[in-house]
Structure 1
Amino acid sequence: MAMLAIGAVVGRATEAIGGVPVAKFTSTEMADDPKKIVVLGCTGSIGDTCFKVLENLGNGYEIVGLAGGSKVEKLIARARCWQPQKICVIDTEARKWVQSAIPKVEVVCGAEGLCELATMPEADLVLNGLVGAVGLAPTLAALAQGKTVAMANKEPLVMAGGLILQQAERGGGTVLPLDSEPNAIWQCLKGEDRKSLKRIILTASGGPFWGRSREQMRDITPEQAIDHPTWKMGPKISVDSATLMNKGFEVIEAAWLFGLAVEQVDVVVHRQSVVHALVEFADGSLLAHMSKTDMLLPIQYALTHPERREVPLDNLDLNQVGQLSFAAPDRANFPCLDLCYEAGRSGGTFPAVLNAANEEAVRAFLARKIGFLAIADLNRDVLAHCGTQEAVSLESILDEDRCARRLAREWVA
């Protein structure tokens, strides 16, 4: 895969994420001119953590736009606290609700509203904390306008990494990796020669069902699947972590961000979740990033980069950790990981197909329409019937996305 070589933001210095330029806000700029932020997905787990970070950082940041989904009351409360110029809601009914509650704020809705927020002229940074394919259009729109996009929403890179690369280069936009693993890789590569990078190793907790047989996983409930042992996340990503689909998506994401083939991105199970990623160089040296399991850390680093600021967390105590263990993933009992490698190697629209199928599969599982093991079965069957290796366009990605969702829904029915 080509590296996500993103153009510099006009008027700001840049430095590279292993070759990928990223926006750099200086201390003077932060003090004199607050960084103006749009938060997409402001009522989800990423949004919650983002606002904890902003409360801890204090002055220097201004929220100009907020987008939320079904948690309308929470969105209203957040808007009253942070006083954005514009709000995006999920539909017209929610729009009426929010507009009556906060009459002086402009309220937009739907996919068009997300793109409108993402391209606000005032915004210095767009934090994409959305879940799923819905994050693709606002990401492309923001990058086309030369915005800096802090990406926690990995699905757009899975679906359309090449298109995002092209859009960023044309528009002069930048990408900051917000998810814990790519953020860890970014930090490990700081100051290193990109050409010497040989391999990336992502760590996986293994999820709540590590060590169980397929028979033992047959009757898993949604409540069990979203009860992650180390991370506090939303229901969809928690299920993806339980199936190892999330880790597979991170393989594709990292390949795009750091210019590697998917075969150069390995996965190991690390139950302690202390090491978040490792990078291996040409001489065999390994650098590892270690920290507490809290999204507050990568989100704050993306917001304050290149500075490091104190966080309201206890330091990592290695004596308390005791020992670190690593193991190969159980590919037989967690086949979603290999489906991601297969889709990543195939390229074209296959990753978008897998993402669409998985979104429908997880939705059906959470609604108790299919069992836990059926998630991988559905994904495999849809991947076998949709997808193309031909030149990718936004239209072809959206066409295959619709095809995959239609087949997945028929499979569930």
Structure 2
Amino acid sequence: MTAVPASVPASLPRRLTILGATGSIGRSTEAVILGAPGVFETVAVAGGRDAQNLARVARALGAEFAAIAEPSAYAELKDALAGTNIAVGAGPEALKEAAAMESDLVIGAIAGAAGVAPTYAAVEAGRDVALANKECLVCAGDSFMRKAREKGVRVLPMDSEHNAIFQALGGESARTIEKMWLTASGGPFRTWSAEQIAAATPDQALAHPNWAMGPKVTIDSASLMNKGLELIEALHIFGVEARKLDVLVHPQSIVHGLVSFEDGAVTAGMAVPDMKVPIAHCLGWPDRVPTRARRLDLAEIGALTFEKPDFARFPALRVAMQALAAGGAMPTILNAANEIMVAAFLDKHISFNDIAKNVEAICELFEKEGAARTPANIEAALAVDHNVRERSRARLAALGH
């Protein structure tokens, strides 16, 4: 093993498992690890179905185990790792096996509801988690955080906004918080008229001005649904009341989150829009890990601006905030319906505005049926998620999509 640099604290090297190693967060995590030789060791990597890319990451990081979610990709992954000592597994149980392996930190970055079960398996095994999967908290936040407390597991927020809030809090008690703001860039449609947004194409919605992300989260950023989902996450991560959570549109994406305290003081988490910054913070916490991320130069930027969100042009944020206030299973319902509608938009079956309209209709349907009670556990939350997806697909079919 390479010697740890003298500037690195004695608590390192740290053993890591990366769930979602082939996605955008996984790639940035790989860059942070490779940029700090001797600081980290990789226990396991897991991905969805891209066997060749997963094998590349496993080799690059010297992983002990590589797990792929798609069972039919097992042979391809095994062939790609032939001649190495890296063990191979496939299927949902292999992902859970990777998550439960002995490590200091599990990076939960598998996108969508598919990431809930393996990340929960890490918590059940008593592993600290750096969380970049929204669904763990949006779909099953009560159960997930209850299990984390039961196991004494630390959940570190890896999303840029929540990580900024985590740093801005500085260990203060949630009781002293008066207000908490997550910022949104406003996405590609921030200055567009309602008529322009209504006619937006998937390519236009995917052209995010500041961040390079996967297609689903990029569409959510364009609709501001992403910010609503992040408010739901913040409620569970920081234990604050829904009424204390709000959103500011900040097109420069420099201030990622702000906290106002009961004495009138306000602290802000700031950094250039580069996921390597919050990733490095989580990987090294409570210590700091150097990165090659571009440094913030406020004089060069010159001005930082903030706006209130426009709920008329971006109704998805309003729908999400209603789900936040309602609680129970409503965030689960919101998230599952949104995933189906975003996929339908990307496939050009519905318009951009149809995303929020259909999600709101699904939420109202489940509320009228009295089916929005808080799921008792992870399994119940995933059952609600599955039911909502089926009903959402049925709605699209009934509408001729």
* TM-score, structure 1 normalization: 0.89
Alpha-carbon deviation of 1:410?
1.4
Instruction: Decide whether the 8 Å contact of 2:78 with 2:88 is kept in 1.
Output: yes
Closer, same or farther in 2 for the Cα pair 1:71/1:223, shift >3 Å? Answer: farther
Counterparts in 2 of 1:305-344, with a 5 A limit? 305-344=285-324
What's the secondary structure of 2:35's corresponding residue? helix
In the alignment, structure 1 residue 210 sits paired with structure 2 residue 186: no
Q: Amino acid of the residue matched to residue 267 of structure 2?
A: L
Counterparts in 2 of 1:13-412, with a 5 A limit? 27-30=9-12, 34-103=13-82, 104-120=85-101, 122-386=102-366, 387-390=371-374, 392-412=376-396
Instruction: Decide whether the 8 Å contact of 1:43 with 1:71 is kept in 2.
Output: yes
- Structure 1 stretch displaced more, 375-384 or 175-184: 375-384
Measured against aligned partners, the alpha-carbon deviations of 1:61-86 in whole angstroms (never above 9, x if no partner) come to 11111111233221121122223221
Instruction: Decide whether the 8 Å contact of 2:55 with 2:66 is kept in 1.
Output: no
Instruction: Decide whether the 8 Å contact of 1:144 with 1:172 is kept in 2.
Output: no
Closer, same or farther in 2 for the Cα pair 1:169/1:309, shift >3 Å? Answer: closer
Alpha-carbon deviation of 1:192?
2.8
Q: Amino acid of the residue matched to residue 183 of structure 1?
A: N
Alpha-carbon deviation of 1:403?
1.7
Rounded Cα–Cα distance in structure 2 between residues aligned with 1:152 and 1:50: 11
What's the secondary structure of 2:195's corresponding residue? coil
Rounded Cα–Cα distance in structure 2 between residues aligned with 1:29 and 1:293: 28
Instruction: Decide whether the 8 Å contact of 1:111 with 1:134 is kept in 2.
Output: no
Instruction: Decide whether the 8 Å contact of 1:269 with 1:329 is kept in 2.
Output: yes
Measured against aligned partners, the alpha-carbon deviations of 1:235-279 in whole angstroms (never above 9, x if no partner) come to 111011001011001101111111112221110101111111100
Rounded Cα–Cα distance in structure 2 between residues aligned with 1:347 and 1:192: 25
Report the number of matched residues: 384
Alpha-carbon deviation of 1:214?
2.6
Measured against aligned partners, the alpha-carbon deviations of 1:288-318 in whole angstroms (never above 9, x if no partner) come to 1111110010000111122223321332111
Rounded Cα–Cα distance in structure 2 between residues aligned with 1:198 and 1:392: 30
Rounded Cα–Cα distance in structure 1 between residues aligned with 2:218 and 2:326: 26
Rounded Cα–Cα distance in structure 2 between residues aligned with 1:165 and 1:40: 19
Alpha-carbon deviation of 1:390?
4.8
Instruction: Decide whether the 8 Å contact of 1:142 with 1:173 is kept in 2.
Output: no
Aligned twin of 2:5: none
Q: Amino acid of the residue matched to residue 170 of structure 1?
A: E
What's the secondary structure of 1:28's corresponding residue? coil
Instruction: Decide whether the 8 Å contact of 1:275 with 1:290 is kept in 2.
Output: yes
Instruction: Decide whether the 8 Å contact of 1:144 with 1:171 is kept in 2.
Output: yes
Runs (5+) with no aligned partner, structure 1: 1-25
Q: Amino acid of the residue matched to residue 89 of structure 1?
A: I
Rounded Cα–Cα distance in structure 2 between residues aligned with 1:317 and 1:246: 27
Rounded Cα–Cα distance in structure 2 between residues aligned with 1:60 and 1:275: 28
Closer, same or farther in 2 for the Cα pair 1:92/1:389, shift >3 Å? Answer: closer
Aligned twin of 1:4: none
- Structure 1 stretch displaced more, 87-96 or 149-158: 87-96
What's the secondary structure of 1:113's corresponding residue? helix
Alpha-carbon deviation of 1:193?
4.1
* TM-score, structure 2 normalization: 0.92
Runs (5+) with no aligned partner, structure 2: 1-7
Aligned twin of 1:16: none
- Structure 1 stretch displaced more, 254-263 or 218-227: 218-227
What's the secondary structure of 2:352's corresponding residue? coil
What's the secondary structure of 1:215's corresponding residue? helix
Alpha-carbon deviation of 1:321?
1.1
Rounded Cα–Cα distance in structure 2 between residues aligned with 1:323 and 1:100: 53
Aligned twin of 2:3: none
Aligned twin of 1:22: none
Instruction: Give the number of the structure with larger relative contact order, counting CA–CA contacts within 8 Å between residues 6 or more apart.
Output: 1
